[in-house]
């Protein structure tokens, strides 16, 4: 290589920002590192470097993200903040600094048998203050999501695969609440990690497990803080689900994510964990699922969103203890609740590209 590791990393980041990429990946192989990017929802290979050189690049990225460079057998998460000029390659100045602005790089490492894999999510300052109206939802979906959010209590669950925009949507929801005069002192977010600071809102980072500060501990403590709205980064286990359901049933608005894939699976998984159907029915105020798919012109990714507003009729249905198959049939019969139907409608309207089926 004719470049130093820090120069190569800087070049890759410059390229990602120039192309408006959302993700950068350093993937170890048997004798080389492959560098890939995802832009406008489309991943592609951009470079290949020798394995030793790639390992040095990974160490440089870890150092910038304040991760432990000598810990290579565990996963780590960090961020490079303060703008590209404040970190990458000793800083980018002048016109480039103005061009790139205050991008933030969220770094995640993962140990493999061949070396450390690195995923970098690119977050731009322009995205930092988005509200729901900025996310590109279709008007009907935006209205349904807003109606669920406006409910003063209940569990609002977002689901979908990694990278589908759930966290961005949650932050937009919180900003919408603040815009509508919600007291910021009555909002607490519990995240792993805190991804964006929201002025006036109390936010805490939790650990992945063990006896340290975790989701369940933080959630129970937050309920003693006279809080109205709780944001839980993820309902990771049955204990967190229980506390979240209890909070929703005692007059709190709880916004969270749940790895279930689609709306029927959210209900089925919670019921499968042994919670009484009538409790689930009473607690859940609505479920939102989304994907990012290619726009019809191929220039960007846009969200396809399905939202189920849990009205009295739906709550009665869930209280009856339906099976997953029953729930899937019922969801298809509710306007705006089936993701594939929403995507098909957007394709017919010329909004999304025909290949959306591969991304749902």
Q: Domain limits of the chain?
A: 5-124, 129-359
Q: Where are the alpha helices (DSSP H) in 150-253?
A: 166-179, 215-222, 238-249
30: pLDDT strictly greater than 90 = yes
345: pLDDT strictly greater than 70 = yes
83: pLDDT strictly greater than 70 = no
Confidence category of residue 219, pLDDT binned at 50, 70, 90: very high
How many helices (H) and strands (E) the chain has is answered by 12, 13
* Mean pLDDT confidence for 243-266: 96
pLDDT in tens, 143-199: 999 999 999 999 999 999 877 889 899 999 999 999 999 999 999 999 987 878 898
The pTM of the full predicted model, rounded to 2 decimals, is 0.82
Residues contacting 131, CB < 8 A, separation 6+:
172, 175, 176, 179
CA–CA gap between residue 332 and residue 116 (Å, rounded):
43
Q: Encoding tokens for residue 215?
A: 């989701």
H/E stretch holding 293:
strand 284-294
Strands in 202-205's sheet, in edge-to-edge order, are 202-205, 187-191, 229-232, 253-257, 154-159, 284-294, 301-309
Task: Give the model's pLDDT for residue 96.
Answer: 39
31: pLDDT strictly greater than 90 = yes
126: pLDDT strictly greater than 80 = no
Domain 5-124: CATH class, spelled out: alpha beta
Confidence category of residue 209, pLDDT binned at 50, 70, 90: low
Q: Encoding tokens for residue 95?
A: 């016109």
Confidence category of residue 41, pLDDT binned at 50, 70, 90: low
Confidence category of residue 117, pLDDT binned at 50, 70, 90: very high
- DSSP 8-state secondary structure symbol assigned to residue 295: B
Mean pLDDT of the chain: 89
Q: Which of 95, 93, 121 is nearest to 107 (CA)?
A: 121
CA–CA gap between residue 289 and residue 307 (Å, rounded):
6
- DSSP 8-state secondary structure symbol assigned to residue 165: S
* Mean pLDDT confidence for 50-66: 95
The CATH topology of domain 129-359 is: Rossmann fold (3.40.50)
Task: Give the model's pLDDT for residue 207.
Answer: 74
pLDDT in tens, 283-333: 999 999 999 888 888 777 899 999 999 999 999 999 999 999 999 999 999
């Amino acid at each position: 290589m004719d470049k130093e590791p820090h120069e190569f990393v800087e070049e890759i980041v410059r390229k990602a920002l120039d192309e408006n990429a959302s993700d950068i990946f350093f993937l170890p192989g048997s004798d080389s590192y492959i560098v890939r990017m995802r832009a406008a929802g489309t991943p592609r290979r951009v470079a290949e470097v020798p394995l030793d050189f790639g390992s040095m690049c990974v160490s440089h990225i870890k150092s910038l993200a304040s991760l432990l460079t000598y810990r290579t057998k565990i996963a780590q998460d960090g961020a490079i903040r303060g703008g590209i000029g404040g970190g990458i390659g000793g800083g980018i100045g002048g016109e480039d600094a103005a061009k790139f602005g205050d991008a933030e790089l969220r770094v995640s490492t993962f140990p493999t048998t061949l070396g450390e894999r690195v995923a970098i999510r690119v977050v731009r300052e322009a995205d930092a203050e988005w509200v729901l109206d900025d996310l590109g939802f279709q008007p009907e979906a935006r209205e349904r999501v807003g109606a669920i959010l406006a409910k003063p209590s209940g569990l609002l669950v977002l689901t979908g695969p990694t990278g589908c925009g759930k966290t961005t949507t949650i932050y937009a929801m919180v900003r919408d609440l603040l815009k509508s005069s919600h007291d910021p002192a009555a909002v607490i977010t519990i995240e792993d990690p805190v991804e964006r600071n929201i002025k006036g809102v109390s936010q805490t980072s939790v650990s992945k497990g063990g006896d340290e500060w975790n989701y369940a501990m933080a959630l129970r403590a937050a309920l003693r803080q006279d809080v109205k709205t709780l944001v839980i980064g993820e309902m990771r286990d049955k204990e967190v689900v229980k506390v979240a359901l209890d909070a929703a049933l005692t007059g709190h608005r709880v916004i969270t994510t749940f790895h279930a894939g689609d709306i029927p699976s959210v209900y089925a998984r919670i019921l499968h964990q042994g919670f009484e159907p009538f409790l689930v029915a009473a607690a859940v105020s609505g479920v939102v699922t989304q994907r990012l798919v290619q726009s019809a012109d191929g220039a960007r990714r846009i969200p396809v969103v399905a939202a189920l507003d849990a009205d009295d009729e739906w709550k009665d249905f869930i209280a009856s203890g339906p099976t997953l198959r029953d729930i899937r049939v019922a969801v298809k019969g509710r306007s705006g609740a089936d993701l594939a139907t929403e995507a098909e409608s957007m394709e017919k309207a010329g909004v999304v590209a025909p290949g959306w089926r591969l991304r749902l």
